[in-house]
Amino acid sequence: MNIRKMTIGAVMVLAACATMTAENSPPVTLKQAYAGAFLIGTVMGKPPAREAEWHLLCRQFNSITAGNCLKPKPVHPAEDRYEFATADVVVKMAHEQGLVIQGHTLIWHSQCPDWFFRDGDKPAGRELVLKRMRDHIATVVGRYAGKIQGWDVVNEVIDSGKGYLRETKWLAAMGEDYIAEAFRAAHRADPRAKLYYNDFSIERPAKREKALRLIRELKSKGVPMDGIGIQGHWELDKIPYQDIEDAIIAFHKEGVDVAITELDLDVVPRRVTGAEVDARDAAGADPYPNGLPAAMLQRQADQYGKLFAIFYKHRDKISRVTIWGLHDGVSWLNTWPSKRTNHPLLWDRDLNPKPALAAVLAVPVAAAQRWGG
């Protein structure tokens, strides 16, 4: 981190401290607390349902990830048809507010229509799939060039088991270099956009090694890849803190930017780890339909605080932390891996701040107090 960025950050944090002392209440918003450290984002797959949600988002965050609306299935349902209506509104709203917008996602095994891979009644060959990929990326990235500052170009292609790359239709049709081709196409469509590889569980040593291999391979070929997104779908009492810190350091050493891209903290015990969207747990429990007990809210707060302390410590390596949802009511964890009432985020369903918010806000303040002795 450069000196100017550090100085601005320290001033903001010290100002926050002063406010807290004066009012004796949570002093700052997330974006103020982390100004000069990293961007603070949330996901926005469509315009928020309530005006109050939009106000909360704009007050607290300085970045959004335009999520579901930009996935290939909703945005490009047929080869000759794009559906940009929702994405256009999301991007316009965020752009007008000066929010930094991340696009999610161009190449993913899930939410990708089958027409990409078919040629009549047989599988499409490499050249046809490559052409479709290039057209898709050129059209989608090109449409928002200058407005969407970064893209999750390739999502979740590392194998969670023993293999290197996940067996996908992209891999089957094009071979391993579909990843490099995707980054090149995105760079051509918007040379200013920051281009990311995004995945879950890549903080864990086994998957981390494969992510490092991927970064090195892409870099050695001169592929325009700028950063890596650690999704951050973690579970209460099971956060791999040391792995997370080690991964941030290891990715940074490879010369790429690090972002935490989809942070949430699941509180309902489950038998599926990570974020494998197709995983289901038919017998999943729903133990907290009427709210989370106070002791658990506090445990969640402590663990969010510990995580943000790691992120803050490594703010010279991290450009953005994005929380995967504004409030508990809109989290994907209410339906995955089974239907349940979940409480993984910083605000509850009524938009009341949870103890976790105070814990996250306290991290830079505590650091500033330490610097001040």
Segment (H or E) for 357: helix 355-371
DSSP-derived 3-state class of residue 335: coil
Rounded Cα distance between 136 and 75, Å, is 10
HSE-CB for 237 with a 13 A CA cutoff: 9
Q: Which residue's CB is nearer to ligand G3I, number 62 or number 342? A: 342
Rounded Cα distance between 332 and 344, Å, is 10
Stretch of residues binding ligand G3I (CB under 6 A), selected from 64-72, 236-244, 247-255, 356-364 = 64-72
Rounded Cα distance between 85 and 88, Å, is 5
Question: Does residue 231 bind ligand G3I (CB under 6 A)?
Answer: yes
Q: Which residue's CB is nearer to ligand G3I, number 188 or number 349? A: 349
Question: Does residue 262 bind ligand G3I (CB under 6 A)?
Answer: yes
Q: Which residue's CB is nearer to ligand G3I, number 29 or number 198? A: 198
Member of 116, 183, 332, 347 binding ligand G3I (CB under 6 A): 332
HSE-CB for 166 with a 13 A CA cutoff: 20
Q: Which of 354, 303, 325, 322 is nearest to 46 (CA)?
A: 325
Residue ranges in 165-224 that form contacts with ligand G3I under rule CB under 6 A: none
Beta partners for residue 320, in sequence order:
39, 259
Q: Residue 123: what are its φ and ψ, rounded to 5°?
A: -65, 140
- Give the nearest distance from C-beta 45 to ligand G3I in angstroms: 6
Question: Does residue 266 bind ligand G3I (CB under 6 A)?
Answer: no
Give the residue numbers marked as catalytic. Answer: 156, 262
- Give the nearest distance from C-beta 274 to ligand G3I in angstroms: 9
Segment (H or E) for 195: strand 194-199
Site string for ligand G3I, 89-128 (x = CB under 6 A): ---------------------xx-----------------
Rounded Cα distance between 282 and 85, Å, is 35
Member of 277, 296, 310, 351 binding ligand G3I (CB under 6 A): 277
Question: Does residue 234 bind ligand G3I (CB under 6 A)?
Answer: no
Question: Does residue 275 bind ligand G3I (CB under 6 A)?
Answer: yes
Which residues are at the interface with ligand G3I (CB under 6 A)? 45, 67-68, 71, 110-111, 155, 231, 262, 275, 277, 332
